């Protein structure tokens, strides 16, 4: 009966494992298909319908990844629980066997103290002598088997503990991945909603917003070759005032677009700015930004309206692969100050059909340049 029950448990476990593997395989296949669809959409003509389909596919892809990670976390949690139970059983068994070994040690010591001559001396006859020899041999064999069992138990115990720790590390890694993918999913959903709200399902509005973002980027590029050198500035010197130049073609309100380039490549400004707590409108919460030594160009309190990287407005920045290339920020004080020493330049450029955007930038040397857009 016991064998039958064990067989049934084994069969159920194998079937359950096979079902999980099949579900995981199906999920991975769907992920591959969606990834291929996203890749294909990225290579097609940039229209509003294409962008909506692209974001929708990205949302579906990230949702599948979240589901896959959740499944892997659940499986690992179950395996860790089973290992915990097995380790507890092994610990009890190890303790019992160790106690038995410790109990046998004095007896074994006593037997080893008895010489062959002693066995002969205390034996009543030859038959009794043979019985004593066989008994000692059997006891020694049992001792050896007991020590072997104890060693095997200790080895198995160590292996299961090492395996459990490995799975715990994997579990924590997957939890971090889940948090990252969940945040990405939330961002993609918000990006789709922003796209629908801002374009109002109008292809003309969508193309106009793309053109405005590109016009701002082109104005900044022209400023690099068509600007007036103002002169050297020191950290903390006032260099401009926050404005809304470029409106309506390239700005929708007074703010500072602060951007940093290293060897003419966009980099995260947070790597240069010192650590500071700011209010982030994307998450509607305070957060710490900055890991460098530069001062911030605006005085506290500072609100970040759009960060560097992928944002809910990323659909506009086709020229940079969907990367917002700087920090958009506002503060009660409109004074913009140099975050570090350098040479200050000033430029005014057309931005769109009827707008003028004013740009300042500081060359800090070693290929590092900071930009200040929409200034008065």
Angle at 95 between CA 93 and CA 99, to 5 degrees: 115
Q: In the chain, which residues fall in CATH 1.10.287?
A: 22-198
Binned at pLDDT 50, 70 and 90, residue 248 comes out as confident
Q: What is the maximum span of the chain, computed from C-alpha positions, in angstroms?
A: 124
Confidence of residue 2 (pLDDT cuts 50, 70, 90): very low
Q: What mean pLDDT is reported for the chain?
A: 85
Q: For 270, which DSSP code?
A: G
Nearest to 229 by CA among 337, 360, 336: 360
Chain mean position to CA 342: 36
The DSSP letter of residue 344 is: E
CB-based contact 283:311 (threshold 8 Å) = no
How many other CB atoms are found less than 10 A from the CB of residue 372?
25
Q: How far apart are alpha carbons 292 and 150 in whole angstroms?
A: 57
User: How many Å apart are CA 88 and CA 82, to the nearest integer?
Assistant: 10
For 22-198, give the CATH class.
mainly alpha
pTM of the model: 0.70
Residue 131: what pLDDT?
59
Q: Hey, how many other C-beta atoms are within 10 angstroms of the C-beta on 4?
A: 8
| pLDDT surpassing 80 at residue 67 | yes
**Which residue's structure tokens are 């001062």?**
295
Phi, psi dihedral angles at 285 (to 5 degrees): -155, 165
- Average of pLDDT values for 58-68? 94
Residue with tokens 């299961």: 160
């Amino acid at each position: 009966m016991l064998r039958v029950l064990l067989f049934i448990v084994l069969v159920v476990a194998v079937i359950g494992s096979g079902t999980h593997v099949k579900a995981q395989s199906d999920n991975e296949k769907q992920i591959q298909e969606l990834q291929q669809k996203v890749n294909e959409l990225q290579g097609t003509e940039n229209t509003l319908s294409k962008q909506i389909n692209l974001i929708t596919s990205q949302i579906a892809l990230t949702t599948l990844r979240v589901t896959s990670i959740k499944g892997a976390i659940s499986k690992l949690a179950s395996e860790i629980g089973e290992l915990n139970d097995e380790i507890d059983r092994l610990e009890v068994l190890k303790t019992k066997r160790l106690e038995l070994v410790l109990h046998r040690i004095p007896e074994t010591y006593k037997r080893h103290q008895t010489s062959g001559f002693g066995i002969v001396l205390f034996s009543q006859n030859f038959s009794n002598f043979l019985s004593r020899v066989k008994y000692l041999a059997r006891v020694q064999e049992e001792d050896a088997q007991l020590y072997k069992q104890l060693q095997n138990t200790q080895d198995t115990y160590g292996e299961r503990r090492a395996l459990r720790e490995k799975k715990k590390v994997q579990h924590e890694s997957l939890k971090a991945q889940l948090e990252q993918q969940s945040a990405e999913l939330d961002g993609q959903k918000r990006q789709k909603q922003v796209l629908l709200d801002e374009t109002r399902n109008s292809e003309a509005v969508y193309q106009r917003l793309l053109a405005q973002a590109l016009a701002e980027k082109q104005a900044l590029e022209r400023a690099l070759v068509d600007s007036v050198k103002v002169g050297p500035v020191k950290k903390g010197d006032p260099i401009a005032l926050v404005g809304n130049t470029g409106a309506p073609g390239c700005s929708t309100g007074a703010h500072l677009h602060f951007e940093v380039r290293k060897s003419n490549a966009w980099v995260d400004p947070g790597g240069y700015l010192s650590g500071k707590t700011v209010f982030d409108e994307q998450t509607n919460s305070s957060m710490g930004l900055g890991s460098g030594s530069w001062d911030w160009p605006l005085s506290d309190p500072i609100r970040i309206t759009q960060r560097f990287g992928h944002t809910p407005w990323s659909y506009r920045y086709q020229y940079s692969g969907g990367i917002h290339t700087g920090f958009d920020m506002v503060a009660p004080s409109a004074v913009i100050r140099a975050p570090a020493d350098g040479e200050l330049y000033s430029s005014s450029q057309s931005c769109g059909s009827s707008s003028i955007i004013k740009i300042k930038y500081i060359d800090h040397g070693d290929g590092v340049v900071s930009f200040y857009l929409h200034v008065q």
